[in-house]
Structure 1
């Protein structure tokens, strides 16, 4: 198949870019794959990419930023989408022309605004797939209304969590649209895993308000008071850097907490630590959680919507604490810091449990979905949605149950309880 991805800016840094690159280069093993970057601001992408994946940009900001069309607001890209200010009449024109000329079998949008373009202008011969890397509940009402209007023109919609897929099925009227959970994948690290001996807690991500690094730093003040031999290293860049630096100085943590800046290869930094930490108030998935676990780090995370609860098994490979609870966060960190055996046990579990996010099973799921939809469209029919069974509050594809140990365990427990009640 010929597969095309529409990506906001393939030359930036972010989780959507990284996961799109991972999926594209895995599919390139058997398919012809390209990434269409709407914007471009530098010569080469920040992330490495398999040379078999073609990358082309529609608007080069280095030479076209002052184009008069780029100063006029877009008419197709939805105004309620938070990237709206970066789009224009020029991007409207280039995206429309690009989609009109595509001969791809599958075209995949990677954010709501691009999914709107895809639904309205995508080639009708192709399978049109919208990806959601945020969550339905996080979209403003105006955007949800726009998506409700145009998403029925898509063939499929994928979300990164089962919880968000359930939200789309319950709250949006999308007749005939396949809604599937397709988690982000993380390749196995090239380095040996952490050995749990380093006295380092590692966190990574954009230094922005929603990540609540201020909470993490304040929580670590207690850790440093009880265990001054431990460090907290925070990787990333963003608008909160100076505020966080001031907080570190205010709390006298300059010998324990370090803002490390961005790291192009985070796995080399994860393996230097023994515990991963995430304090977000909102996390659509939680790529850094999986990355840390794949490097052998148990993770202490806030139990924010939606990702952490589907990644971490509390007490087995990490800890989940209430959002914003500084005391609970300190307690969870100290619990792992002060118990070497527990930390080693959780490290082993983190390595084992995180393998479900390996690209192989996730790529197989994506490839099966795209192939089924392509064959159905070629024959003039819609692909039937898979049979789902309810596990707790979630609807899960019966064929995927065996891939998820948590769901399989839940089903086993329910069956045992039913037998006991007979």
Structure 2
């Protein structure tokens, strides 16, 4: 008899936004659907997706547009509960611990097992103090909390002494490992990310104002879209960088941007993981990055595959970029080391870790508590 596939739901805000959490939700849903899991994605709003979905993935949304969740709280909880019952969901993966405020009451009495998927780091609440309570709820009541770095896993254990398993599962490279690295012949420094304050592109522009006179034939390209576009374009023009800085928006194929760059820069004020670093490293791009929590500090080895500088300071960032540009031999060595490291983030082994966690949830609480099933990255030491 063919075993019944585990019925799994990813609960998220929306898939119609070009951002890391949304991209990873689609990536993991697709991968697990291809492995035979019965996968649904429930967005709170907007049934469109910026990312292609596997034909077997059922994507629904509670609202056409983002509502006021204070006014629509009861409707939201009822909608999630209806989805869980209709789809006979066994495991609910909440793509942000904040969703616990909806998911816990929605799943009450249904026997659904919860996993929280944390895409930021523990000490950043993104301006919402309620996030701290949400993390406590997840640590107390959930089967597991998935974090992206070992540093963050240790922080959860230190701060909350959780009853939940805290599993470190990094984000996978969302595309196949490129057969060839970038030729690095174009005189282009690339940055990729949402145009929001967290990404520090204002700091990068101020740094580039110092680099441009030293490397007048080089260009800076910032790929992405977001609320800060108008402010960043105004700052670019104020700094006189209109001829050497482009903000082309969202690229339909971001791999083309990596393949046509020679240096990658991450200027973030904070990161949960920094998937763009892994993507850039896969193309053999040498990295200049800020030393922010938690991803860059775990992903990068200063002097081996990157130059790392303090957060929020244009002058050190400018010096690092100028050094990378003016020392192509060193840049090539860093880029090769980065490409080797990127091979450790191929999808298959990371998907297997998700499968081990999901199957452990499916095995039932008794075996979970006895510890019969071994999952080395989530031991509460």
Q: Distance in 2 between matches of 1:346 and 1:308?
A: 15
Q: Who is 2:13 aligned against?
A: 8
Alignment of 1:30-41 (within 5 A): 30-41=35-46
**Residue in structure 1 matched with residue 279 of structure 2 by the alignment:** 291
Contact kept in structure 2, 1:119 and 1:151, CA below 8 Å: no
Give 1:325 shift. Answer: 2.2
Counterpart of 1:185 in structure 2 is: 172
Deviation at 1:15, TM superposition (A): 0.9
Equivalent residue in structure 2 for 1:53, among 50, 57, 81: 57
Note closer, same or farther for the CA distance 1:326–1:293 as it changes in structure 2 (3 Å cut): same
Tell me, in whole angstroms, the C-alpha distance in 1 between the residues paired with 2:69 and 2:208: 47
TM-score of the superposed pair, with normalisation by structure 2: 0.89
Distance 1:156 1:150, change over 3 A: closer
Report the alpha carbon displacement of residue 397 of structure 1 after superposing the two structures with TM.
Answer: 6.1
The answer to whether 1:121 aligns with 2:106 is yes
Name the Cα RMSD after superposition: 2.4
Shift of 1:209: 1.4
Query: Contact conserved, 2:139 with 2:160, CA < 8 A, in 1?
Result: no
2:277 is paired with a residue whose SS is helix
**Residue equivalent to 1:103:** 88
1:328 to 297, 312, 316: 316
Q: Does 1:18 align with 2:23?
A: yes
Query: What is residue 264 of structure 2 aligned with on the other side?
Result: 276
Q: Is the 8 A contact 1:196 1:347 kept in 2?
A: no
Distance verdict in 2 for CA 1:222–1:379, change over 3 Å: closer
Contact 1:109 1:129 in 2 (8 A): yes
Structure 1 residue 117 displacement after superposition: 3.0
Please name the residue that 1:229 is paired with.
Answer: 217
Rounded to whole Å, the distance in 2 between the matches of 1:203 and 1:317 is 17
Which residue of 1 is the match for residue 332 of structure 2? 344
Q: Could you tell me whether the CA contact under 8 Å between 2:44 and 2:62 is conserved in 1?
A: yes
Aligned counterparts, 1:34-183, within 5 A: 34-41=39-46, 44-61=48-65, 73=70, 88-122=73-107, 124-139=110-125, 140-149=128-137, 151-175=139-163, 177-183=164-170
| Structure 2 runs not aligned, ≥5 long | 1-5
CA displacement, residues 312-337 of structure 1 (integer Å, 9 cap, x when unaligned): 12112211111122221112112211
Alpha-carbon separation, structure 2, partners of 1:383 and 1:121:
28
Task: Tell whether the 8 Å contact from 2:100 to 2:134 is kept in structure 1 after alignment.
Answer: no
Unaligned segments of structure 1, at least 5 residues = 75-86, 389-395, 399-422
Q: Distance in 2 between matches of 1:278 and 1:314?
A: 14
CA deviation profile, 1:188-223 (whole Å, cap 9, x unmatched): 256743112211000011111121111111111222
What is the distance in 2 between the residues matched to 1:319 and 1:277? Answer: 10
Change in Cα spacing, 1:2 to 1:254, as seen in structure 2 (3 Å) is: same
Q: Taking CA–CA contacts closer than 8 Å with sequence separation of 6 or more, which of the two structures ends up with the larger relative contact order?
A: 2
1:253 matched to 2:241? The reply is yes
Give the Cα–Cα distance (whole angstroms) in 2 for the partners of residues 379 and 189 of structure 1: 37
In the superposition, relative to structure 1, how do residues 356 and 7 fare at CA in structure 2: closer, same or farther (>3 Å)? same
Is 1:29 paired with 2:16?
no
Q: In structure 1, how many angstroms separate the alpha carbons of the residues matched to 2:255 and 2:99?
A: 31
- What is the count of residue pairs matched by the alignment? 370
Deviations 1:229-282 (A, max 9, x none): 110001112222222212222222122111111112211111110111111111
Residues in 2 aligned to 1:296 and 1:356: alpha-carbon distance in whole angstroms: 14
Residue of structure 1 aligned with 2:194, choices 175, 197, 206:
206
Q: 1:223 to 1:146 in 2, by over 3 A?
A: closer
- Alignment check: 8 A CA contact 1:321 1:329 kept: yes
Contact 1:204 1:288 in 2 (8 A): yes
* Of 156-165 and 118-127, the range deviating more from structure 2: 118-127
